[in-house]
């Protein structure tokens, strides 16, 4: 279905593309706005005193308007020429999931088969509706519709058992194949079908065309086996590489048995990204400083800022802040439905997402299957410099990361900006010029290409500062502006059995710690262990930190505590935190410099973490560890082990131990 954006919560929404741009290039703004007299300017987000940039803006649309967008995936078959007088047969497999209201299962001209919430299938021809059969959710069926001189015949069978369930004949019916849709009637005002489809075929006596979905996707076009030019249109990015009627549970890798995963999952709230035209182009001067900027849109109803990231045309520092855009995208437009989450605060971005039925990778579809695909061509209403996470009622993601850049700017520490997507696209070349990479507060989502680039960076002698918690945790894959995640087992949502592999790359999804080779414990030295929205805690220095070897890091730092206040839950250690576990994978030269403990009982170690000493060890791990070690490439890896660390940096005009450590770290890494 297609609808206008609901701007009750926010007067402006939109996105920037690309959102990582080098000096000398341009980026574009795609906007929906309720005020046709809105004004624009480019401002900085990473400085205490906002800078207004006079960068050239080219307006393509004149006055902004409220835009439309499309929700719900479905499939459109190409018309077969000259079939009006011929006999033909159309068939496909389907598995219904939860459909709260009547949905169109398929449409062929003026013949439609619909499914009611209770599973009743109706055949509608013209203005006459005929009850046909009943189906059950989560069961595979084969549906065949054929036309002959006698009329139309409809046959329903169990796909796995090849057993006929129902058959009906409709004498005199003669639908024309001018429209053949699966999962929708093609209108803009009805919700599409929730369920899976596979193995589509359409043919006449002398022509046969069939479409089997590949395990690699998503795709918006699929040529038939017989003629690649005769292609399905696949609307709004359904999920590819899901278990089909041939799945036996004996093989879970689609690369071994592709036919077991030759289905797609349609959802009535699938979202393939906005198909808007650009409103503005912003030309970035070649000598623009690296940093975080925004298009600021001012309306009578309020002001919104759309962030983007500027890289130096040539590296201007030996240090780079690695912006975690994959994490930003995973959380973008998170709904946090109040029925599931007890909000402690409120934010207009979440209200906007609820108003418009947007989903992020933390949400489930209306049929309760997990959201595994997202697009960067979306509003990202929760990605703002003034964002407050409702569950913690404090800053989260971008506004926390901006504190680091603001701090370094006021202290005169030069830092370039690089995004994790730059690592994905350009590999090691994107980071080769730098001596040190500094992560954001929550670098949680990483692709294989990002990991390979980081490996090369460390092998080349680079330094890494992991300044967050729950980092390097989930495996993601990219295809253009689409990002994919397969969570497998999680309390957020759990994927279906056998569906752990990415459709974009074919590789296993889930957690990096389960993938081998790149277990965070092996190269960071810490593992994500606990999370809570309880009160944050300060760090206490351990004996090793007083060694002369680490004077450079603690120079000017008075004794404990370190970080007894902060913007994120009131301390430097909090929210999601990491610690060292006893493991053969832990670097043998790892040093624990400081630790934070004394967390309240809401902080509990993840139950799935295997510990050699069981519960006795589990009780000792309710802590955050600050660590360091020198890796085989010659550089150092420093970890704070806390999402809240950057939030504990001092405000303008103030100083504290967290800030002193960060100044020392920048000097040492340089």
pLDDT in tens, 137-180: 999 999 999 999 889 999 999 998 889 999 999 998 888 888 99
243-269: average pLDDT = 97
Banded pLDDT at 84 (limits 50, 70, 90): low
Residue 119 belongs to a domain: yes
Q: What is the pLDDT of residue 81?
A: 64
83-97: average pLDDT = 88
293-318: average pLDDT = 96
Q: Is the pLDDT of residue 612 over 90?
A: no
Q: Identify the helix (H) or strand (E) that includes residue 234.
A: strand 231-235
pTM: predicted TM-score of the whole model, two decimal places: 0.96
Domain final position from 246, 266, 286: 266
- Judging by DSSP bridges, how do beta strands 527-531 and 604-605 pair with one another? antiparallel
Residue 44 belongs to a domain: no
| CATH number, domain with residue 399 | 3.40.50.880
Banded pLDDT at 446 (limits 50, 70, 90): very high
Q: Does residue 325 share a domain with residue 240?
A: no
398-411 helix and 657-669 helix, angle to the nearest 10 degrees: 70
Strands (E), 86-192: 88-96, 103-108, 111-115, 120-125, 128-134, 141-148, 151-158, 163-171, 180-182
DSSP code, position 498: T
Q: Given phi > 0 = left and psi -120 to 50 = alpha, else beta, which region is 525?
A: left
Residue 52 belongs to a domain: no
User: Which residues are within 8 A (CB) of 578 and not within 5 positions of it... i.e. 6 or more apart?
Assistant: 469, 470, 471, 520, 524, 526, 527, 528, 529, 624, 625, 639, 641, 642
Residue 136 belongs to a domain: yes
Q: How much of the chain exceeds pLDDT 70, in percent?
A: 99
Residue 350 belongs to a domain: no
Residue 96 belongs to a domain: yes
Q: Does residue 324 share a domain with residue 462?
A: yes
Q: What is the pLDDT of residue 558?
A: 83
Q: Does residue 545 share a domain with residue 396?
A: yes
How high does pLDDT run on average in the chain? 94
Banded pLDDT at 611 (limits 50, 70, 90): confident
641-655: average pLDDT = 97
Residue 39 belongs to a domain: no
Q: Does residue 326 share a domain with residue 254?
A: no
Q: Which of 221-230, 289-298, 301-310, 609-618 has the lowest mean pLDDT?
A: 609-618
Q: What is the pLDDT of residue 83?
A: 62
- 8 Å CB contact between 376 and 17: yes
Residue 532 belongs to a domain: yes
Q: Identify the helix (H) or strand (E) that includes residue 57.
A: strand 57-59
Q: Is the pLDDT of residue 648 over 80?
A: yes
Q: What is the pLDDT of residue 67?
A: 96
Q: Does residue 546 share a domain with residue 449?
A: yes
585-606: average pLDDT = 94
Domain count, the chain: 2
Q: What is the spatial distance between Cα 37 and Cα 368, in angstroms, rounded to a whole number?
A: 41
184-193: average pLDDT = 94
Q: Does residue 220 share a domain with residue 320?
A: no
Q: What is the spatial distance between Cα 349 and Cα 137, in angstroms, rounded to a whole number?
A: 34
Render 531-600 in DSSP notation, one character per residue: E-SS--B-BEE-GGGGSGGGHHHHTT--SS-B-S--TTTTSSB-SEEEE----TTS-TT-EEEEEE----
Domain final position from 266, 298, 324: 266
- Tell me the residue range of the domain where 467 lies: 315-332+383-473+511-669
Q: Does residue 590 share a domain with residue 521?
A: yes
Q: Is the pLDDT of residue 656 over 90?
A: yes
């Amino acid at each position: 279905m297609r609808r206008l954006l609901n701007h009750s919560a926010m007067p402006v929404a939109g996105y920037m593309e690309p959102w990582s741009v080098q000096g000398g290039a341009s980026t574009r703004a795609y906007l929906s706005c309720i005020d046709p007299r809105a004004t624009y300017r480019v401002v900085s987000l990473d400085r205490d005193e906002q800078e207004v940039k006079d960068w050239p803006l080219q307006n393509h649309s004149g006055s902004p308007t409220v835009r439309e967008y499309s929700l719900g995936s479905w499939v459109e078959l190409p018309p077969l020429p000259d079939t009006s007088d011929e006999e033909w047969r159309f068939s496909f497999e389907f598995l219904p999931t939860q459909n709260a209201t009547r949905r169109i299962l398929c449409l062929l001209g003026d013949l439609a088969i619909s499914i009611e919430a209770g599973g009743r299938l109706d055949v509608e021809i013209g203005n006459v509706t005929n009850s046909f059969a009943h189906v059950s959710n989560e069961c595979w069926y084969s549906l065949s519709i054929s036309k002959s001189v006698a009329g139309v015949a409809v046959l329903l069978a169990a796909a796995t058992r090849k057993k006929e369930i129902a058959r009906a004949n409709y004498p005199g019916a003669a639908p024309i194949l001018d429209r053949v849709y699966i999962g929708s009637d093609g209108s803009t005002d009805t919700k599409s079908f929730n369920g899976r489809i596979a193995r589509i075929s359409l043919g006449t006596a002398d022509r046969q065309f069939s479409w089997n979905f590949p395990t690699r996707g998503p795709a918006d076009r699929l040529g038939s086996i017989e003629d690649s030019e005769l292609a399905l249109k696949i609307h709004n990015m359904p999920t590819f590489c899901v278990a089909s009627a041939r799945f036996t549970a004996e093989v879970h890798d689609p690369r071994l048995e592709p036919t077991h995963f030759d289905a797609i999952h349609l959802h009535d709230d699938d979202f393939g990204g906005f198909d808007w035209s650009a409103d503005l182009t912003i030309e970035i001067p070649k000598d623009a400083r690296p940093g975080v900027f925004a298009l600021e849109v001012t309306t009578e109803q309020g002001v919104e800022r759309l962030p983007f990231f500027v890289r130096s045309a040539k590296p201007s520092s030996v240090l780079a802040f690695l912006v975690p855009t994959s994490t930003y995208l995973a959380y973008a437009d998170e709904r946090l439905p109040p029925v599931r989450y007890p909000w402690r605060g409120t934010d207009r971005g979440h209200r906007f997402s609820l108003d418009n039925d947007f989903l992020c990778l933390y949400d489930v579809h209306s049929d309760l299957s997990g959201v595994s695909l997202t697009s960067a061509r979306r509003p990202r209403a929760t990605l703002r410099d003034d964002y407050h996470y409702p569950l913690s009622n404090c800053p989260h993601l971008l506004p926390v990361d901006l504190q680091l850049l603001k701090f370094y700017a006021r202290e005169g520490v030069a830092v370039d900006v690089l995004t994790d997507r730059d690592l994905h696209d350009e590999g090691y070349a994107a980071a080769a010029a730098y001596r040190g990479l500094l992560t954001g507060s929550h670098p949680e989502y990483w692709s294989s290409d990002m990991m390979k680039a980081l490996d090369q960076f460390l092998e080349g002698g680079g330094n890494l500062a992991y300044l967050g918690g729950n980092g390097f945790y989930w495996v993601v894959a990219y295809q253009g502006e689409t990002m994919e995640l397969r969570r497998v087992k999680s309390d957020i949502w759990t994927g279906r059995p056998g569906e752990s592999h990415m459709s974009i790359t074919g590789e296993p999804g889930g957690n990096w710690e389960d993938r081998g080779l790149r277990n965070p414990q092996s190269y960071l030295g810490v593992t994500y262990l606990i999370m809570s929205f309880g009160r944050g805690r300060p760090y206490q220095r351990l004996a090793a930190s007083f060694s002369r070897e680490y004077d450079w890091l603690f120079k000017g730092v008075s004794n404990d505590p370190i970080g007894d206040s902060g913007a994120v839950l009131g301390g430097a250690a909090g929210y999601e935190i990491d610690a060292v576990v006893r493991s053969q994978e832990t670097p043998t030269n790892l040093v624990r410099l400081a630790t934070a403990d004394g967390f309240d009982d809401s902080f509990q170690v993840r139950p799935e973490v295997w510990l050699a000493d069981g519960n006795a060890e589990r009780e000792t791990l309710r802590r955050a560890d600050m660590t360091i070690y020198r890796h085989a490439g010659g550089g150092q890896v420093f970890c704070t082990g806390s999402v809240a660390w950057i939030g504990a940096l001092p405000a303008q005009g103030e100083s504290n131990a967290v800030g002193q450590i960060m100044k020392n770290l920048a000097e040492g890494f340089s």
